[in-house]
């Protein structure tokens, strides 16, 4: 059986630098930092007191107020971004069989805010087990996929994917495989995360994973800078509508680009630290290239995992040099986490979306907050520091790596009839 070609026909985003795809892209190309002091809880006693929050967010602006109260913040984000993507794609019961439209959606952690609230309320009570009846349905990680399908009546394959910070890239790859194998015509895919809470910040602080640059939060996420000191927590959602080329053409859909291939590997090394030589990262990029039937020289841009951690940034650049050789110096490389923070399970979707727009518009978004070169990084690599660059981008690769050693890469290329 010949594999079907898969294209992207709809996009949705909700981030700290923009609440729509257009706003998100404008923020990326303008080099806007989404980081500020935390407003969702009193973080004054925490080592890290800042994050990339979705600002001035009121779910009732987008969703029915009664329904919104039954959803954790991560599901609210997912619903809003999915609404934008489905509308953008123009999917309706008239042009797409609902039995052949799936939802494969991701989150790294799910309803952590709901979990924290319910447990704290119980601990502060009289010991009587009084829990909100929506506690479990709000908290469980798969509920975003379920809620999206229920709102839109999509009855195709429906499940959640979790692989820490690689989650939504894995979801996109699963959706891609589902369509090219002919198991669905259309899949709504991506990821959502909302863990800016005492539990989230406190937990990552305890691991010494977060930046503690409280005196300058807007410059705290500084991938590949010599003085980087940890990642900045972000939140938000990114959603893609993808479908088989034949289905998209039959209904006259707008086509953004084509998904060329994807890969997944494991470091098998450490629960949080990357392999020091980037072995898993090297293998996953090679796997994605092989799946796409492409040579390294065909890639023009890499949206790197680039979390702004001392070890991670070095390991990833070693992997890039290993895979791409001399062509690495022709690549544009950038970490959009310098602007959005690390959105954990939503990161892969938002960064794939950045690759889609880079391919569509021939603009590479920057890595902001670069002040001091790191002598451990090859100075000949183009990290697209501080300012977006115009460049023909025929193909882009997005990397995401998660705690536990999970690695995922996906390749986006210009659509050609």
Q: From its phi and psi, is residue 308 left (phi > 0), alpha (psi between -120 and 50) or beta?
A: left
User: Cα angle vertex 341, ends 337, 347, to 5°?
Assistant: 65
Tokens of 60: 């009732």
Beta partners for residue 367, in sequence order = 385
Q: Which residue has the tokens 């790294």?
A: 108
What interhelical angle do 198-206 and 112-123 show, nearest 10?
100
Task: Say which of 35, 52, 165, 257 is annotated catalytic.
Answer: 165
Q: In this structure, are residues 222 and 338 in contact, taking their beta carbons and an 8 Å threshold?
A: yes
Q: Return d(Cα 141, Cα 64) in angstroms, integer.
A: 21
φ, ψ (nearest 5 deg) of residue 124: -90, 0
Task: Say which of 152, 247, 342, 370 is annotated catalytic.
Answer: 342
Tokens of 270: 């450490």
Catalytic site includes residue 342: yes
User: Cα angle vertex 259, ends 171, 90, to 5°?
Assistant: 80
Catalytic site includes residue 52: no
Catalytic site includes residue 152: no
DSSP 206-230: HTT-B---TT-GGG---TTBTT--S
| Active-site residue set | 165, 305, 342
């Amino acid at each position: 059986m010949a594999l079907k070609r898969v294209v992207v026909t709809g996009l949705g985003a909700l981030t700290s630098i923009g609440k729509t795809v257009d706003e998100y892209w404008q923020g990326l190309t303008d080099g806007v930092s989404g980081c500020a002091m935390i407003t969702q809880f009193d973080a004054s006693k925490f080592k890290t007191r800042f994050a990339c929050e979705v600002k001035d967010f009121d779910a009732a602006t987008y969703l029915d107020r009664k329904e919104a109260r039954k959803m954790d913040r991560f599901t609210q984000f997912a619903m809003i971004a999915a609404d934008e993507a489905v509308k953008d794609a123009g999917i309706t019961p008239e042009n797409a069989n609902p039995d052949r439209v799936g939802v494969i959606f991701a989150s790294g952690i799910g309803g952590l805010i709901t979990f924290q609230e319910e447990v704290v309320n119980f601990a502060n009570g009289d010991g009587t087990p009084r829990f909100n009846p929506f506690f479990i349905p709000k908290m469980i990680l798969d509920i975003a996929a379920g809620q999206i399908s229920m709102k839109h009546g999509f009855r195709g394959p429906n499940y959640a994917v979790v692989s820490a910070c690689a989650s939504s890239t894995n979801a996109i790859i699963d959706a891609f495989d589902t369509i090219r194998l002919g198991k669905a015509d259309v899949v709504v895919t991506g990821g959502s995360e909302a863990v800016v809470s005492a539990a989230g910040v406190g937990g990552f602080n305890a691991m010494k994973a977060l930046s503690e640059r409280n005196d300058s939060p807007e410059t705290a996420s500084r991938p590949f800078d010599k003085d980087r000191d940890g990642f900045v927590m972000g939140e938000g959602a990114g959603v893609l509508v993808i479908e088989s080329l034949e289905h998209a053409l039959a209904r006259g859909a707008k086509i953004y680009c084509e998904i060329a291939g994807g890969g997944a590997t494991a470091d098998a090394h450490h629960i949080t630290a990357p392999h020091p030589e980037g072995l898993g990262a090297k293998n996953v990029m090679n796997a994605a290239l092989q799946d796409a039937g492409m040579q390294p020289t065909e890639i023009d841009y890499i949206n790197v995992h680039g979390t702004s951690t001392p070890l991670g940034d070095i390991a990833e650049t070693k992997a890039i040099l290993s895979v791409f050789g001399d062509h690495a110096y022709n690549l544009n490389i950038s970490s959009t986490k310098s602007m959005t923070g690390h959105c954990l399970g939503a990161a892969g979707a938002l960064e794939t979306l950045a690759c889609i727009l880079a391919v569509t518009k021939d603009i590479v978004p920057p890595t902001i907050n670069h002040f001091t070169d790191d002598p451990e990084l090859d100075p000949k690599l183009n990290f697209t520091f501080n300012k977006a660059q115009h460049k023909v981008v025929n193909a882009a690769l997005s990397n995401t790596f998660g705690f536990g050693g999970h690695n995922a890469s996906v390749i986006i290329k210009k659509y050609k009839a």
